[in-house]
């Protein structure tokens, strides 16, 4: 009697013993399979109900996001095809199928699952790349990736073009007030590449004088939410990032997928009030 197929339905199907996850959950991850089953049933009971049974309910947006994220884990785990573990990792990633608040009562973290398969956890990946300093006490070091260093290390492809768009960057960032810009467009049109091209111009000093010493930092929402233990901890971490920005001579904060922060039902919505200031 649910109006659409949501992540909880996918999770319930995945927990069928034919998929082979029971030994992984009970032996490898030392968790209670039946507790997880009850947890998923509780999520299903909280789903929006339909007035009548729907024979072929559509996938919800969140369910489609689970499939997309599962394919990302397929690449990370070096699998040739989507496996139950890919979907398991996707479903327990905060902000994909379930919110951070919902997953607080779930006994397994995605990093535990990745470590089990010998795959680097998300935070380990960026540490290995040398883009953050894990021992740093600064918020920049913990939750941001320096785009200048990333480009200098040659870890991204060379960007060609975008001269007109980057000139618009200069105009907006040079304003005395309201010097914030938002890049919009369909997936795959080159929004991230545009930012990389802008950073390349800074490194080559082919920018107006007020931007020649600029440092561009990308806020990593996954790191910001990782292992947060209490309500409001993400907001406290973000306050630290913003305080350090104010101390910088010329720092630019880049937030990819900023729509997640504006989503009232999302786990990052508490950050939006801090951005308004």
pLDDT score for 40: 93
Helices (H), the chain: 7-14, 22-23, 33-45, 61-76, 84-91, 100-103, 110-116, 122-128, 139-143, 147-152, 163-173, 191-203, 221-225, 233-247, 259-262, 270-276
Encode pLDDT of 35-46 as tens digits. Answer: 999 999 999 888
What confidence tens digit (pLDDT) does each residue in 91-135 have? 998 888 888 778 878 888 888 888 877 655 444 444 444 444 444
pLDDT per position as a tens digit, 65-81: 999 889 888 888 888 88
Upper half-sphere CA count for residue 75 (Cβ side, 13 Å): 5
- Domain boundaries in the chain? 7-119, 123-276
Q: What is the pLDDT of residue 135?
A: 42
Q: Is pLDDT above 60 for 211? A: yes
Please give the Cα distance from 240 to 271 (Å, whole number): 12
Question: Domain 123-276 in CATH: superfamily?
Answer: P-loop containing nucleotide triphosphate hydrolases (3.40.50.300)
Which helix (DSSP H) or strand (DSSP E) does residue 144 occupy?
A: strand 144-146
* Whether the predicted model's global pTM rises above the 0.85 cut: no
Nearest to 238 by CA among 274, 269, 277: 274
∠ CA 231-15-224, rounded to 5°:
25
Share of the chain above pLDDT 90, in %: 12
Residue 41 confidence (pLDDT): 92
And the tokens for 71? Answer: 């394919």
The closest of 93, 42, 29, 45 to 67, measured between CA atoms, is: 93
Domain 7-119, CATH number (from 1.10.1780.10, 1.10.3720.10, 3.10.180.10, 2.120.10.30):
1.10.1780.10
Spatial distance between the Cα atoms of 63 and 234, rounded to a whole number of angstroms:
25
| Percent of the chain whose predicted confidence (pLDDT) is above 70 | 87
* CA–CA distance, 96 with 117 (Å, rounded to integer): 21
pLDDT at 225 over 70: yes
Does 244 have pLDDT greater than 50? yes
């Amino acid at each position: 009697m649910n109006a659409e197929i949501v992540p909880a339905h996918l999770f319930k199907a995945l927990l069928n013993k034919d998929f082979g996850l029971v030994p992984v959950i009970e032996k490898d991850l030392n968790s209670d399979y039946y507790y997880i089953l009850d947890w998923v049933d509780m999520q299903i009971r909280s789903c929006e109900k339909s007035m009548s049974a729907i024979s072929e309910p559509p996938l919800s947006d969140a369910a489609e996001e689970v499939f997309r994220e599962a394919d990302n884990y397929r690449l990370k785990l070096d699998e040739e095809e989507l496996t139950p573990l890919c979907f398991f990792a996707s479903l327990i990633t905060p902000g994909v199928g379930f919110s951070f608040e919902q997953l607080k009562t779930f006994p397994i973290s995605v990093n535990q699952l990745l470590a089990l398969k010998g795959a680097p956890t998300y935070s380990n990946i960026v540490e290995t790349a040398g883009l953050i300093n894990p021992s740093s006490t600064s918020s920049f070091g913990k939750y941001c990736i320096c785009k200048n260093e990333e480009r200098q290390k040659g870890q991204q492809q060379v960007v060609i073009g975008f001269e007109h768009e980057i000139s618009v960057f200069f105009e907006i960032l040079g304003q005395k007030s309201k010097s914030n810009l938002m890049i919009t467009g369909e997936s795959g049109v080159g929004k991230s590449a545009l930012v990389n091209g802008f950073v390349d111009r800074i490194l080559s000093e082919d920018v107006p004088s007020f931007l020649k010493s600029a440092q561009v930092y990308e806020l990593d929402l996954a790191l910001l939410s990782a292992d947060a233990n209490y309500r409001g901890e993400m907001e406290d971490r973000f306050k630290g990032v913003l305080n350090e920005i104010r101390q910088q001579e010329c720092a630019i904060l880049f937030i990819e997928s900023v729509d997640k922060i504006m989503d009232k039902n999302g786990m990052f919505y508490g950050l939006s009030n801090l951005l308004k200031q």
